[in-house]
Chain A
Amino acid sequence: MSRTPSSAAAAAVVALGAPAPAAPGSLASRLGRAIALVAFIVLVVVLGLTLAPANALELQYAVSLTLFAVATNLILGFGGLVSFGQGIFYGVGAYTVALGWMHQSLDFTEAMVLAPLFGAVAAVPLGMLALRTRRLYFSLLTLTMSQLAFVIAENQTNLTGGTNGVFGAMVPTWLLDPHTSFLFTAAIVAVSIAVLWKVVHSPFGLVLRAIRDNRERVEALGVNVYAHELAAFVISAFFCALAGSLFVVYSQSSYPEILNWTASGVPVFMAVIGGMYSFFGPVVGAFVYEFASHYLIEYTQDWQLVIGVVLLAIVLLRPDGLAGSLGSLRARLRRRRQPAAARPAEDLATPDDAGGRP
Chain B
Amino acid sequence: MSDTVLSVQGLVRDFGGFRAVNHVDLAVERGTIHAVIGPNGAGKSTLFKLITGSLRPTEGRIVLDGHAVGGRRPHVIATRGLVQVFQLSSICARLTVAESVALGIIAHRHRTLDVVTGYQRRARAQAEAVLEQVGLGGQGSTIAGTLSHGDQRALEIAMALAISPRVLLLDEPTAGMSPAETTVIAELIVSEARTRGITVLLSEHDMDVVFGISDRVTVLHQGQVITEGTPAEVRAHPEVMAIYLGHAAERSEGVA
Which chain A residues lie closer than 8 Å to B131 at the CB level?
none
Please judge, given known A-B contacts A199-B115, A203-B106, whether A220 and B94 are in contact too, CB under 8 Å: no
Complex CA–CA separation, A217 to B89 (angstroms): 10
Complex CA–CA separation, A210 to B96 (angstroms): 10
Q: Which of B99, B113, B143, B163 contacts A231 (CB 8 A)?
A: B113
Q: Which of B54, B74, B90, B112 contacts A214 (CB 8 A)?
A: B90
A204 near B112: Cβ-Cβ < 8 Å: yes
B91 near A221: Cβ-Cβ < 8 Å: no
Which chain B residues lie closer than 8 Å to A348 at the CB level?
94, 143, 145-146
Q: Which of A203, A217, A353 contacts B120 (CB 8 A)?
A: A203
Which chain B residues lie closer than 8 Å to A22 at the CB level?
96, 141, 143
Shortest CB distance A281–B (Å): 14
In the complex formed, the residue of B with least CB distance to A214 is: B92
Which chain B residues lie closer than 8 Å to A358 at the CB level?
89, 93, 145
- Encode contact with A along B155-169: 1 for CB under 8 Å, 0 otherwise: 000011011000000
Please judge, given known A-B contacts A23-B96, A217-B91, whether A228 and B75 are in contact too, CB under 8 Å: no
B123 near A203: Cβ-Cβ < 8 Å: yes
**B107 at interface by CB-CB < 8 Å:** yes
B78 near A221: Cβ-Cβ < 8 Å: yes
B115 near A205: Cβ-Cβ < 8 Å: yes
B159 near A221: Cβ-Cβ < 8 Å: yes
Which chain A residues lie closer than 8 Å to B86 at the CB level?
216-217, 220
**A180 at interface by CB-CB < 8 Å:** no
Shortest CB distance B216–A (Å): 24
**B203 at interface by CB-CB < 8 Å:** no
Interface residues of B in 53-88 (CB under 8 A from A): 54, 73-76, 78-79, 83-84, 86
**27 CB-based A-B contacts, threshold 8 Å:** A202-B118, A202-B119, A203-B112, A204-B112, A204-B113, A204-B115, A206-B95, A207-B106, A209-B94, A210-B99, A210-B100, A213-B93, A213-B95, A217-B86, A217-B90, A217-B92, A217-B159, A220-B78, A220-B86, A221-B108, A221-B159, A221-B162, A224-B75, A231-B113, A348-B94, A349-B94, A353-B93
Give A contacts to B, CB under 8 Å: 22-24, 198-199, 201-207, 209-210, 212-214, 216-225, 228, 231, 235, 277, 344-345, 348-349, 353, 356-358
